[in-house]
Structure 1
């Protein structure tokens, strides 16, 4: 299942609050054209077949195909230098770190 870092959860809370989404609204991740990557948008509610991840006041809606692709990933926020030289925050997808297995 997609993991969400604390920093990403705070960013989602800020976005949904600023957008004045209704209760139950959240961040939706879809793939309208999978060859072009993923699309993030704010949604007042999930689509009928979306996989819903919710907790700590944050909701993320994933298209079923996106849920499969992101199953072993983590959603994070990273600072990136903007075109004006200022830092801006962007969502990023990374690989979940697996706990180390004890060696026999």
Structure 2
């Protein structure tokens, strides 16, 4: 199962903390639209049918079923740069 670093948990919780969003809002990871190995991340109000749900310390990640298999042994990390832009990275191994 995909694991989340503490940085990813913090960023996801910040991104989804808007009180106007539904309580089950999380980050959804699905295949990119161009047919490459790229993945697309978006804010989702709830999981879609068939999604695998990864939840840690209130941070919710919804994985499209094919993506869940691909990321089964991976770790999601996130960082915010000085300009406030968020970047997510996926690496082999478990969270630290």
Normalising by structure 2, what TM-score?
0.83
Change (3 A) 1:19 1:11: farther
- Runs of 5+ unmatched residues, structure 1: 98-104
Larger radius of gyration: 1
Q: Is the 8 A contact 1:21 1:43 kept in 2?
A: no
Q: Corresponding residue for 2:9?
A: 9
Q: Name the stretch that deviates more: 16-25 or 26-35.
A: 16-25
Secondary structure of the corresponding residue to residue 8 of structure 1 = helix
Paired residues of 1:12 and 1:26 also in contact (CA < 8 A):
yes
CA distance in 1: counterparts of 2:93 and 2:51, whole angstroms: 22
* CA RMSD between the two structures: 2.1
Task: Give the number of aligned pairs.
Answer: 93
Please list, as runs of the form range in 1=range in 2, the aligned pairs for 1:15-94 lying within 5 A after superposition. 15-18=15-18, 20-33=20-33, 34-78=35-79, 88-94=85-91
SS of 2:17's partner is helix
TM superposition shift of 1:88: 4.0
- Cα distance, 1:23–1:87 mapped onto 2, change above 3 Å: closer
Deviations 1:35-87 (A, max 9, x none): 15100000001001100111311110000000000011100024668xxxx57
